Amino acid sequence: MTDPVPGWLTEARRICVLTGAGISTDSGIPDFRGPQGLWTRDPEAEKLSTLQYYVADPEVRRRAWQARSKHPWHAQPNAAHAALVDLERQGRLLALVTQNIDGLHQAAGSSPERVLEVHGTVHEVECLSCHDRTSMRSALDRVEAGEPDPACLRCGGILKSATISFGQEMDERVLGAAAEAAADCDVLLAVGTSLRVWPVAGLVEIAAAHGARVVIVNAVPTPYDELADLVVREPIGTALPPLLAA
């Protein structure tokens, strides 16, 4: 940061943070939706994340389990995740809303109760019939042991990562809590998100409508840059720590 951090940001006490894929690319997690994203380059890959195809086609499920086994499971949180842990320690973090499914905020040390995963998590699997939740690790152990499409051990239903696929309802409680935090914050800080995916993008409007300042840290322009009080284009890992220093 060459410019000084504005006083209103240093003085903010109820910061609602919204994170997207950009915060995890430094950790080696691919951005699925971005210009160089996996889905942009390979539309077939998007099928694996579409509920309708997943339910209808065992071959899609088999490929989805193969893709999950290749997820960068050893990815480590980076300096930007650490800056948000520090923000919580300062007592200034109201909520950490994330579009990411990688669990890296919790791995960095953010309190699980502060993290609202609007697109779910890849660390758990959920049965589409009885909604039983188990660990991803236990499901992948079964895949590696030779079950190409492991079924629910309780009811025989279809198992899927506990992420929100296309065509799947988001969790109303998580969304409600995120909207509440956006309405109650003094600063909404959006990091590494293109702000083009609803309803998450709408959180910026909710915050602004309730009088919060808006800060956007992202590599490329977003539809909300004009509404923002501060837009930062520098790399997230170097921009975030000084912005959020106590």
**Residue 150 or 192: which CB sits closer to Zn ion?**
150
Query: Does the protein bind Zn ion through residue 155 (CB under 5 A)?
Result: yes
Query: Does the protein bind Zn ion through residue 30 (CB under 5 A)?
Result: no
Alpha-carbon distances, residue 222 vs 33, 91, 195 (angstroms): 14, 29, 6
Of 67, 74, 83, the residue nearest 235 (C-alpha): 83
| Alpha carbons 14 and 181: distance in angstroms, whole number | 9
**Residue 127 or 189: which CB sits closer to Zn ion?**
127
Do residues 28 and 77 make contact, with C-beta atoms less than 8 angstroms apart? no
Active site amino acids: 119
Instruction: Find the binder of Zn ion among 40, 50, 129, 168 (CB under 5 A).
Output: 129
CA 61, 173, 217, 236 torsion-angle sign: negative
SS3 assignment, position 169: coil
Query: Does the protein bind Zn ion through residue 125 (CB under 5 A)?
Result: no
Instruction: Find the binder of Zn ion among 152, 175, 215, 236 (CB under 5 A).
Output: 152
**Residue 126 or 186: which CB sits closer to Zn ion?**
126
**Residue 67 or 158: which CB sits closer to Zn ion?**
158
Instruction: Find the binder of Zn ion among 154, 196, 210, 233 (CB under 5 A).
Output: 154
Query: Does the protein bind Zn ion through residue 220 (CB under 5 A)?
Result: no
| Alpha carbons 234 and 164: distance in angstroms, whole number | 30
Binding site for Zn ion (CB under 5 A): 127, 129-130, 132, 152, 154-155, 157
